[in-house]
Amino acid sequence: MNDFMLTLFLPLIVLAAGILISALAFAEEPVPPSIAQSILDLGDTNRELQEESVFALEKSGDPDVLPVLEALRGGNLNIWMEADGKRRIVMSGDAVDLEDGTQVLPLFEAYGGKPILDAQGKQIQVIEENLEGIRLGRRMRIKLTPMLDRLRLFSREAAIRESAATKVGLTGFAEALPILEQALNKEKNPWVRSALEEALGLIQLSDENPSIRKKAAENLGRIHALNAVAMLEERIQANDAGESEETDIAVKAAITEAIQKIEAWSVWTRTVETIFSGISLSSILLLVALGLAITFGLMGVINMAHGELMMLGAYATYIIQEFFVAYMPSDVRDLYFILAIPLAFGIAALFGLLLEKFIIRKLYGRPLETLLATWGISLVLQQGVRQIFGAANVDVASPAWLSGGLRVANGIQFPYNRLFIIALSIMSVLSVYLLVLRSPIGLKIRAVTQNRQMSACMGITTERVDAWTFALGAGLAGMAGAALTLIGNVGPDLGQNYIVDSFLVVVTGGVGKIAGTVGAAFGIGGINKILEPGLGAIYAKVAILLIVILFLQKKPSGLFPAKGRNIDL
C-alpha cells in the first residue's frame, strides 16, 4: 500500500519541487543593506556623505550598482516620495505622452533597473514635478567617468568587462589596482582575464619598485599584450639628453624582450588574418562565380545580367527583413536570414527561368546577340530597382547570431558572418557537385551539354533541361546576393562590383569545370589579399588582371582544360 501511495503521489511531489525551485530561482534578490543605505545617501544634501556613498558603491563590485551610477551621471537619478511619505531613490525613463497631453516619466528601481510596479502590476509613471533630481558637484562628476569604467569590470557581459579592462589599463591610474585584482580573482573568461592582466601590467609599469616593473613587463610579453607596445617603447625611449624614463637595466632588458615577443606575435597574427581574409574573399568569389560556371561554363551563355540576378537576391533579403521587422515578434526577427536564403534562390531562379524561356532560348548559338540582350536586361533591372527602392543603398542588418566573431587567440578573431559565407560556399559546391555528377538530373544536363541531338534522340526534352539548368545558375546567383548582404551595401550597382571577377574565375578555372572554378576562386582571392597590403586595393586588382592574362597566354583553356571535344565537369 505504501509503495502504491508513493507511486501515486510521486509525480505530484516532483511537480511541487519543480515549482518551488523555479520560484526560488526567479525570486528577486534583496538589496544588500550596505548598498541600500549607500543608494539612499546619494540623495543627501551633505556633499561629503554623498561622495562617500559613490565610492562605497564603486568598491562593492556589484554589477547591479552600475545602472545607479550611470543614471546619476546622466541626470536620471531622482528622489521620489511615495504615497506613505517614504523617501525613495529611483531612476526615471524617457518621457511618455498621455492621451490628455500630459508628460509622465516611468520609474525604475535604482538597484538593478527593474520597473517599479503598482498594486495592479503596471509600471508607475509620475509627472516630473513629483521627482527631485540628484545632482553631483563638478569635482565628483569628473571622477565618476573612470569610476564607471572600473565598475564595468564586474558587468555580467563579458564584452563590457573586457572593454572596461582595456580602458582602465590605458588610464594608468594606480588607484585602479585593487579593483583590477578583485576583478581578476573573480574572472573566469580567458579573454577578459587577459585584458585584466594587461591592464594590471600597464599600470604596474609605473610602480616605484623595479621588481614589480620587471614582472609587469614579463607578464605583458607573456600574454602578447598588443596594446602595450607603445607604452613599453615610451619607457625605454631616450630623450634628447640620452636618458629614458626607465633607469633600471634589468627592467629595460625585460621591456625589450617583451616588445620583441609582442612584435613577433603581431607578425603571426597578421599572417593568420591575411590567410583568413584570402579564404574569405575566395569563398565570396566562389559563391558569386558558381552560378556563372553553370550558365556560361555548361551552357555557353554569356549572361551579362548575372550580377543583376545577385542584386535580385540581395533585395529579396531586404524585403524579407522589412517584413519580419513590421509583422513578426521582436524575438524572432533575427531568423529572417534563414528564410531569406532559399527565397532569394527561388526568386532569382524563377526570373532566370522566364529569362531563358522568352529571350535566351531564341539566341542559342549566337553569343554576340546573347551578350547584348542580357546586357540590356541588366540595365532594365537596375533601372527598375531604382524606380522601386530608390537610387540610394538600402540597409540590411546582419542577424544578431552572426554578429561578433570566433576568437582563437589574442589578436586573432574570425567574424561569424565570414565563417557563415565560407560554410555556405562549401555547401553550395558540394550540392552542385552531387546534383550534376551524382544524380539523374545531372546526367541529363551533361548529356544535353555534350551532344544535344543525341540526347533528343534518347528522349530527353532538351528545352526543359536548358531551362532548369539556367534557372539553377540564376538561383545560385540570387543566393550569392543574399550572402553578400552580410558584408556589403545593397544597391542597384551591387552586381557590377562582382561580374568581372566572376568571369575571371570561371575563365581561369576552365570553362565548364567546377573544380577549376574552386581552384581559380581560391587562387585569385588568395593572391589578391597577399598583394593588397603592399599595392593597395585598386592596384592589387590590376595586378590580378595582368596575372590572369599572362596565365591564359600559357594555358588558354584554364586550370582544368576540357579533354577531347566534350566539355565535362
- Which cell goes with 194? 587577459
CB-based contact 531:540 (threshold 8 Å): yes
CB-based contact 484:310 (threshold 8 Å): yes
pLDDT in tens, 5-48: 444 344 445 444 544 444 444 344 567 788 888 888 787 777 78
- Which cell goes with 46? 551633505
Contacts for 426 with CB less than 8 Å, ≥ 6 apart: 283
Say which range, 8-17, 138-147, 193-202, 331-340, has the weakest mean pLDDT.
Answer: 8-17
Q: How far apart are CA 190 and CA 185, in angstroms?
A: 12
Q: How far apart are CA 275 and CA 354, in angstroms?
A: 41
Partners of 123 in beta bridges:
117
560 HSE (CA, 13 A, CB side): 18
Q: How far apart are CA 213 and CA 205, in angstroms?
A: 5
Largest CA distance in the chain: 100
Could you tell me the pTM of the whole model? 0.76
2: left (phi > 0), else alpha (psi -120 to 50), else beta?
alpha
CB-based contact 201:228 (threshold 8 Å): yes
pLDDT given at position 154: 83
pLDDT averaged over the chain?
Answer: 82
pLDDT grade, residue 526 (50/70/90)?
Answer: confident
Q: How far apart are CA 60 and CA 183, in angstroms?
A: 11
Q: What dihedral do alpha carbons 475, 480, 485, 488 form, nearest 10°?
A: -140
Task: Give the residue from 231, 256, 259 showing the smallest Cα distance to 169.
Answer: 231
Give the mean model confidence (pLDDT) for residues 287-304.
Answer: 79
Q: What is each CA distance from 199 to 152, 217, 241, 257, in whole angstroms?
A: 14, 12, 30, 19
Say which range, 347-351, 425-429, 493-497, has the weakest mean pLDDT.
Answer: 493-497
548 versus 364: the higher-pLDDT residue is: 548
Q: How far apart are CA 398 and CA 327, in angstroms?
A: 18
Q: How far apart are CA 435 and CA 473, in angstroms?
A: 12
pLDDT in tens, 92-147: 888 888 877 788 888 888 887 788 888 788 888 888 888 888 887 777 777 787 77
Whether residue 239 is predicted with pLDDT greater than 80 in this model: the reply is: no
CB-based contact 327:338 (threshold 8 Å): no
Partners of 126 in beta bridges:
105
- Which cell goes with 232? 613599453
CB-based contact 66:75 (threshold 8 Å): no
Three-state DSSP at 17 gives helix
Give the mean model confidence (pLDDT) for residues 356-379.
Answer: 85
Alpha helix locations (H) across 62-124?
A: 66-74
Give the mean model confidence (pLDDT) for residues 142-167.
Answer: 83
Name the E strands within 253-348.
none
143 versus 286: the higher-pLDDT residue is: 286
CA angle 373, 377, 382 (to 5 degrees): 150
Task: Give the residue from 315, 509, 294 showing the smallest Cα distance to 393.
Answer: 315
Task: For the beta carbon of residue 458, count every other beta carbon within 10 angstroms.
Answer: 11
pLDDT grade, residue 563 (50/70/90)?
Answer: low
pLDDT grade, residue 346 (50/70/90)?
Answer: very high
pLDDT given at position 345: 92
pLDDT in tens, 447-506: 877 777 787 887 787 788 888 888 888 899 899 889 888 887 888 888 887 888 888 888
Whether residue 77 is predicted with pLDDT greater than 70 in this model: the reply is: yes
Whether residue 565 is predicted with pLDDT greater than 60 in this model: the reply is: no
Whether residue 317 is predicted with pLDDT greater than 90 in this model: the reply is: yes
Give the distance from CA 175 to its chain's centroid. Answer: 35
pLDDT given at position 297: 66
350 versus 54: the higher-pLDDT residue is: 350
CB-based contact 208:230 (threshold 8 Å): no
In the chain, the percentage of residues whose pLDDT exceeds 70 is 92
Say which range, 19-33, 72-86, 188-202, has the weakest mean pLDDT.
Answer: 19-33
Give the mean model confidence (pLDDT) for residues 356-378.
Answer: 85
Three-state DSSP at 232 gives helix
| Alpha-carbon radius of gyration of the chain | 33
Q: How far apart are CA 397 and CA 410, in angstroms?
A: 28
Q: How far apart are CA 142 and CA 454, in angstroms?
A: 85
Kindly write down the DSSP assignment for every residue of 404-451, as one continuous string. SEEEEETTEEEEHHHHHHHHHHHHHHHHHHHHHHSSHHHHHHHHHHH-
Give the mean model confidence (pLDDT) for residues 394-415.
Answer: 85
CA angle 42, 186, 218 (to 5 degrees): 115
Partners of 131 in beta bridges:
80
Strands 96-97 and 103-109: antiparallel
Contacts for 132 with CB less than 8 Å, ≥ 6 apart: 43, 78, 79, 80
